[in-house]
Amino acid sequence: MATQAMVNFLIRRVFEMAIVLFLSALASYTLLSFAPGGPLSFLTSVQIRLNADDIARIRANYELDLFVPVRFTRWLIGQPNGPLYIGGQLIGADVVVGCRIPDTINVVENGKVVTREAGCRAGQDVTLLDLAADPTRRQVRGVLFGDFGLSHQILRNRPVWTLVESRLPYTIQLMLMSTTLSILIGVPLGVYSAVKQYSIFDYIVTTLSFFGSSMPTFFFGLLMIMLFALYFEQWNLPHLPPGNAIAVRDWTMGTFMGDWRIEAGSLADRALHMIMPTTVLTLFTVAGWSRFVRGSMLEVLRQDYVRTARAKGLWERVVIAKHALRNALIPFVTIVVFSIPGVFGGAIITETVFNWPGMGRLYFDALGRSDYPVAMALLMITAFLTVVATLVSDILYTVVDPRIRLS
Amino acid sequence: MIKSKRFSVLAGLSVAGMVIAACAPQAVIQTQVVQVTAPPEVQEVIQTQVVEVTSAPVEVNTAFTTPHPILGDARVRQAIAYCTNRPELIASVYPWASEEVQAGLLMDTNINSASWASYSGPEIQTYPFDPEKGKALLEEAGWTGEPFRSNADGFPMFLRFTTTTAAFRVTWASVFEQQMAACGIQIVRNHVPASWWFGSESGLVRRDFELGAYAWVGETDPKGQTLYACNQIPLPTNNWTGQNYMGWCNEAASNAIQAANNSLDQAERIEQYKLFQIEFAKDMVSLPVFQRAEGNAATLALQNFKPSATEYYTWNSHEWSLTDGGEELVLGLSQEPASMYTLIESAAVQRTVAYLVFEGAITQYNYNYQTDLQAEIPTIDNGGLVINTVDVAEGTEIIDATGQATDAEGNMVTLSAGVSIQNENGEVVTFEGGSAMMRQLVVSYKFQDNLTWSDGEPVKQADFELAYANDCNEESGAVDYSTCRAIESVEFTGDTAFTVTYKPGYFAPLSFISPIGLYPSHQVLSDGRVLADVPTTEWSSLPEIADTPLGVGPFILTEWNKGQSLVLEANPFYWGGELAIKKITILIVQDTKSAVAQLLTGDIDVIGSETLGAGEEVQTVLDNQDTLQVLIEPSATWEHIDMNLFIP
């Protein structure tokens, strides 16, 4: 019976997830499609003379000559790629899906001339047949089938997935390390602070938490670079590399036991490069999570069942660990699970400050350079992980809290 | 029941929120301003009017040429120039620069003072800071009152100043606003996203501004035809084509800029640019604010580090060496090249790497030209460049008087009645039928004899033939085919030599630079095909072209770790001989602060101007000149304020 309920629940949730993902995709794609700028902006920054045909050719390179709904369905499901071919017949070859050179009309609005598109110039329609016959047009498969399209700017004309692949391992490495450390440090701190409420330890943790959560990561990052990379090197102390995921050449780290030669790309090199970005991210996360666990724990400690457990004469350690902590962690599950998208999405500021080649930096770069296929891919990955995290957190609730039933 | 729908909605909203947040404008930054004044200078005031645009081929509806009620008056424009304390603006954005450096950033015309085409004679009207003179001009033009002026009709002197949200523009624009207020001109700053300001259907292109600030990148050849000619004013009637965003049409200036761009004689060009600059300064339609400063920094051990405003700093990497005998260098680059396929990618970072791998046909160090892969610069004197007079029959494809091979719709221009052409004497005439005597350019290009690909294969004729066939194929993905369209025929005369016959009427000043490059026609791709057999539409996605191409330059790109670094090793077959530097690693460092930190720790040896820029980080490197060589110079990029003479 419980299994059947779970199956029904999962079916319903997967269906809901698909709708949410579709709406996210539609909203993001539409917003980015109508954002000013785009791949043609550079034409205004160089001294160049282009005729209407040139502009049409450049627009076609980026599929900007296709209607937005057509572009969207091509991006999402890889259709249309051309007319249907059924029984030796081409169906829909003449269906218009875009316009190479739009006609324009100039109207005066509020004393200013505004140019508006007004249909398509004669003979400049893009048909389904053009999509299939034009060798400069790409046959797409769609995001649904793993084709995220081609990068417009960052890795021009090459698959977006190549970019994602190159960044993902570094982001996972950094975020996983920081998330794990945050849990390992944040939860005990929170618990201990709650148990020792209003103690000196609690005050210190509370103060540091406020400090950690209010300190901007870029500032804290730069501060660490100055201290542990620049000044420590000047003072002949063991210094850390100021940025990057790995060194490009062997380097020397002065220690109290003499100079250590660190080989570029070695495990030690990679570990040393991770220390500062991980620390910044961890401190920031620990600050928030420890406060959350403390609050949750305090609430649970006031519950009758905890008082009962104590009244039964159980050891305080058992009361805390078994009765209080398990219940206090139920809401914390949501927070931890919702950090999953972040593990893959990266941390924009920290990655930028430490020149970490991760997804956050890529997203920032994609928006800055109007590389919308890349930005869309990252948004979709984030949206997908967010809905998956929602599902996982719902399921985990039932695991950590037997009172909750899926229905 | 779990409230899963809430989470679902949150998921959707969070994605949309990320998009919106990413589009949010930057914060305004306040800065301290250093007061610097220049001595007043008495100038003759010249009044000009907006000239109705009538020159062919652009048809202009006079309804769109109503002068701007304030900026249409030259006296007002000149007053704005006099009221602008440019040294103060420079000091506001480059507080770290010495007085000497700051003075070197001032410019009076559209051409950088270091350029061969710059003219600074007494005919050039200059506008040193003189608010009293500015106020007098405004009074004379009928703008009176305090604190902000108005005219006799009560029309307020209120101008919208549009520019981007870039921090340094916000800085100097806020100072400019104060300076204008001191003269009674009310400025409202409108900081807009660059994507709107430089958008393809908004901002500048639609001339949607009154005062507008942005930058042009100066070049060794000043060009300027698309920026200042009468027929280059973007208008609703010409579908907003052209880059003369001010809507300025001064016939003398327009003729001069077109003549300067249609001559091969440098002396003649200098004369035409002089005429243009006189008109440009006199009409004051675009106030040159300053040349941007740019800083380059490198380890003291690096020798022959010669960055230049008009060339990428890697142009002479074959001359580099290290005093300590080292053989490896690490360069920091603020952005990763999008592709090594030079035909489709032209960003500065790409060119910086491309010089290491391919080199250039001709280099442009310090506003001048030097031979590189091209063994010589073809000139009339050395016989490499020949001007023939030919009898052109009606219907023949030609280049029209504006230098175009195609009309506005993209059709090839042919000699037909009504077409404006240059005759054999270089005079602009309208063709009326029959045939016409026109000039035809024939240029012989000669590359270095000992060019060898980095895989050891000597360069041969087929390599140039492949480049011509590919690069001029309009499916190749290039942006501009204007030079290809100007070519009538090409005769390959040897492994590294060929002669190009241009269409009658083509007279571009830069025709001494080869329009044809070279590709390794022998290269076998990973899928077994030979490069010469691969359709042009596939080239941009080929790893052998986009990632690790063969080249004839000093270095071979051997490894590209996306998002992190590019590794280049010395090319053993380099035509220029053995290199002192054996390995160059290019580290991608987006954040300038991070790049400087790595420069100071010795993780990076060189950062060029594209990475160091001219912000506060320059001060940091200047403070470390005991370990670094820091070169600060005026960039070719210059900030200016365009004044829109009539808003369509």
Tokens of B330: 């690490």
Place of tokens 């085919």: B481
Read off the pLDDT of residues B463-484 as tens digits, 9 standing for 90 and up: 999 999 999 999 998 988 999 9
> What is the rounded CA–CA span in Å between residue A222 and residue A383?
31
**Which stretches of B177-230 are assigned E, i.e. beta strand?**
186-192, 211-217
**How many contacts, defined by CB atoms under 8 Å, are there between A and B?**
254
Q: How far is A316 from chain B (nearest CA, A)?
A: 33
Check B226 against A48: CB less than 8 A apart. yes
Confidence bin at A52 (pLDDT 50/70/90): confident
- Helix (H) or strand (E) segment spanning residue B200: none
**Which stretches of A121-201 are assigned E, i.e. beta strand?**
125-127
Identify the burial level of B456 via C-beta atoms within 10 angstroms of its C-beta, where 0-12 means exposed, 13-18 middle and 19 or more buried.
Answer: exposed
pLDDT at B56 over 90: no
- For residues B101 and B94, the answer to whether their CB atoms sit within 8 Å is yes
Q: How far is B495 from chain A (nearest CA, A)?
A: 32
Delineate the domains of chain B, giving CATH numbers in brackets.
Answer: 28-54+62-292+638-647 (3.10.105.10), 301-371+552-626 (3.40.190.10), 385-512 (3.90.76)
3-state secondary structure of B18: helix
Chain B environment of A107 (Cβ under 8 Å): none
- pLDDT score of B427: 86
Chain A environment of B592 (Cβ under 8 Å): none
Long-range pairs of B252-258 with CB within 8 A, sequence gap ≥ 24: B252/B279, B253/B228, B253/B279, B253/B280, B253/B283, B254/B55, B254/B228, B254/B229, B254/B230, B257/B224, B257/B225, B257/B228, B257/B229, B258/B225, B258/B229, B258/B402, B258/B403
Q: How far is A277 from chain B (nearest CA, A)?
A: 13
User: Using CB atoms, which residue from A38, A51, A248 is nearest to B587?
Assistant: A248
> What is the rounded CA–CA span in Å between residue B581 and residue B480?
36
Q: Shortest CA distance to A32 belongs to which of A354, A373, A345, A334?
A: A373
- pLDDT score of A44: 64
Confidence bin at A341 (pLDDT 50/70/90): confident
pLDDT at B50 over 50: no
pLDDT at A324 over 90: no
- Hey, how many other C-beta atoms are within 10 angstroms of the C-beta on A90? 14
CB < 8 Å from B in window 25-84 of A = 27-28, 31-32, 35-38, 40-54, 56-58, 61
CB < 8 Å from B in window 135-194 of A = 135-136, 150-151, 153-158, 162-163, 166-167, 170
**Which stretches of B27-177 are assigned E, i.e. beta strand?**
158-164
Q: How far is A72 from chain B (nearest CA, A)?
A: 16
Distant-in-sequence, close-in-space partners of A131: CB < 8 Å, separation ≥ 6: A80, A81, A82, A97, A137
Find how far residue B117's CA is from the centre of its chain.
16
- For residues A337 and A391, the answer to whether their CB atoms sit within 8 Å is no
> Helix axis angle, B86-93 relative to B167-182, nearest 10°?
150
B375-404: average pLDDT: 93
pLDDT at B250 over 70: yes
Chain A environment of B10 (Cβ under 8 Å): 386
- For residues B362 and B510, the answer to whether their CB atoms sit within 8 Å is no
> What is the rounded CA–CA span in Å between residue B348 and residue B342?
11
Instruction: Give percent of chain B above pLDDT 90.
Output: 76
| B-interface mutation test, from A10, A30, A44, A116, most B Cβ less than 10 A away | A44
pLDDT at B167 over 70: yes
Tokens of A85: 């071919």
- Hey, how many other C-beta atoms are within 10 angstroms of the C-beta on B524? 12
Sequential DSSP letters for A50-67:
--HHHHHHHHHHTTTTB-
- For residues A79 and A73, the answer to whether their CB atoms sit within 8 Å is yes
Find how far residue B172's CA is from the centre of its chain.
22
Comparing A74 with B16, the larger pLDDT belongs to A74
Check A246 against B564: CB less than 8 A apart. yes
Sequential DSSP letters for B496-548:
TEEEEEEPTT---TTTTS-S-----TTPBPTTS-BGGGS-GGGGGG-HHHHTS
| A-interface mutation test, from B590, B600, B617, B638, most A Cβ less than 10 A away | B590
Q: Which of A301-305, A399-403, B218-222 has the lowest mean pLDDT?
A: A399-403
Tokens of A124: 């400049």
Read off the pLDDT of residues A194-244 as tens digits, 9 standing for 90 and up: 988 889 999 998 898 888 888 888 888 999 999 999 999 888 888 999 999
Q: How far is B232 from chain A (nearest CA, A)?
A: 9
Kindly report the length of chain A: 407
Check A248 against B206: CB less than 8 A apart. no
Distant-in-sequence, close-in-space partners of B27: CB < 8 Å, separation ≥ 6: none
Read off the pLDDT of residues A96-115 as tens digits, 9 standing for 90 and up: 999 999 888 888 777 777 78
Q: Shortest CA distance to B394 belongs to which of B415, B420, B413?
A: B415
Q: How far is A195 from chain B (nearest CA, A)?
A: 30
Check A244 against B587: CB less than 8 A apart. yes
Check B562 against A163: CB less than 8 A apart. yes
**Edge-to-edge strands of the sheet including B435-446?**
B385-393, B435-446, B497-502, B487-494
- pLDDT score of B300: 96
Q: Is A113 on the interface with B (CB under 8 A)?
A: yes
Please state, in angstroms and as integers, the Cα–Cα distance from residue B556 to each residue in B131, B313, B359, B490, B542, following that order.
57, 18, 11, 30, 17
Check A47 against B200: CB less than 8 A apart. no
Give the residue on B whose Cα is nearest the Cα of A372: B19
A125-127/A96-99 β-pairing: antiparallel
Check B236 against A106: CB less than 8 A apart. yes
Read off the pLDDT of residues B282-334 as tens digits, 9 standing for 90 and up: 999 999 999 999 999 999 999 999 999 999 999 999 999 999 999 999 999 99
pLDDT at B430 over 70: yes
B3-11: average pLDDT: 44
- pLDDT score of B523: 97
User: Using CB atoms, which residue from B15, B409, B477 is nearest to A382?
Assistant: B15
- Helix (H) or strand (E) segment spanning residue A31: helix A2-34
Check B540 against A135: CB less than 8 A apart. no
Chain A environment of B594 (Cβ under 8 Å): 225, 242-243, 352-355
- For residues B124 and B109, the answer to whether their CB atoms sit within 8 Å is yes
Q: Which region, left, alpha or beta, applies to residue B634 given φ > 0 means left and ψ of -120 to 50 means alpha?
A: beta
Read off the pLDDT of residues B358-388 as tens digits, 9 standing for 90 and up: 999 999 999 999 999 999 999 999 999 999 9
> What is the rounded CA–CA span in Å between residue B273 and residue B262?
12
Please report which residue ranges of B70-185 form alpha helices under DSSP H: 74-83, 86-93, 99-103, 131-140, 167-182
Q: How far is A193 from chain B (nearest CA, A)?
A: 30
Chain B environment of A386 (Cβ under 8 Å): 10-11, 14-15
Confidence bin at B37 (pLDDT 50/70/90): very low
Residue type, A200: I
| A-interface mutation test, from B3, B5, B8, most A Cβ less than 10 A away | B8
Confidence bin at B61 (pLDDT 50/70/90): very low
pLDDT at B59 over 80: no
CB < 8 Å from B in window 201-230 of A = 222, 225-226, 229-230
The DSSP 8-state label assigned to residue B120 in this structure reads -
Check A112 against B648: CB less than 8 A apart. yes
Q: How far is B383 from chain A (nearest CA, A)?
A: 30
Chain B environment of A37 (Cβ under 8 Å): 193-196, 198-199
Check B5 against A16: CB less than 8 A apart. yes
pLDDT at B612 over 70: yes
Tokens of B487: 């070519």
CA quadruple B612, B616, B619, B624: dihedral sign = negative
Place of tokens 């250039």: B360
- pLDDT score of A406: 64
- For residues B405 and B478, the answer to whether their CB atoms sit within 8 Å is no
Read off the pLDDT of residues B510-564 as tens digits, 9 standing for 90 and up: 999 999 999 999 999 999 999 999 999 999 999 999 999 999 999 999 999 999 9
**Mean pLDDT computed over every residue of chain A:** 88
Read off the pLDDT of residues A154-210 as tens digits, 9 standing for 90 and up: 999 899 999 999 999 999 999 999 999 999 999 999 999 998 888 999 999 889 888
Chain A environment of B508 (Cβ under 8 Å): none
Tokens of A390: 């929602």
